[in-house]
Structure 1
Amino acid sequence: MRTLMYASHSVRSAQSAYRDNAVATASPARLLVMLVERLVLDIERGLVAQQAEDWPQAHQHLLHAQDVVVELESSLDVDKMPAGRQLASLYEFLRGHLVLGNVRRDAHVTHEALTIARQLCDTWRQAAMAAAVS
Structure 2
Amino acid sequence: MAYQQPAQAYQNNSVNTASPADLTLMLYNGALKFIKLTKMEIAEKRYNTAHEYNIRVQDIIRELMLTLDHQYPVAEQMNRLYEYLHKRLIEANVKKDTTILDEVEDFIAQFRDAWKQAVVLAKKQGHAL
Task: Say yes or no: TM over 0.5.
Answer: yes
Paired residue for 2:90? Answer: 99
Question: Which residue of structure 2 lines up, in the alignment, with residue 131 of structure 1?
Answer: 122
Note the alpha carbon deviations across 1:66-103, whole angstroms, 9 max, x for none: 0000111112122x124111111110111111111001
Tell me if 1:34 matches 2:41: no
For normalisation by structure 1, the TM-score amounts to: 0.85
Aligned to 1:48: 40
SS at match of 1:57: helix
Highest Rg: 1 or 2?
1
> How big is the shift at 1:107?
1.1
Number of equivalenced pairs:
123
TM-score (norm 2): 0.89
Structure 2 residue corresponding to 1:19, chosen from 11, 14, 33 = 11
Structure with the bigger percentage of helix: 1
* Structure 1: gaps spanning 5 or more residues: 1-9
Q: Which ranges of structure 2 fall in alignment gaps of 5 or more residues?
A: none
Partner AA of 1:52 in structure 2: E
SS of 1:24's equivalent in the other structure is helix
2:110 counterpart residue number: 119
CA distance in structure 2 between the aligned counterparts of 1:81 and 1:42, rounded to whole angstroms: 29
CA distance in 2, matches of 1:81, 1:36: 20
Sequence identity, in percent? 31
Work out the CA distance in 1 between the residues paired with 2:103 and 2:119: 24
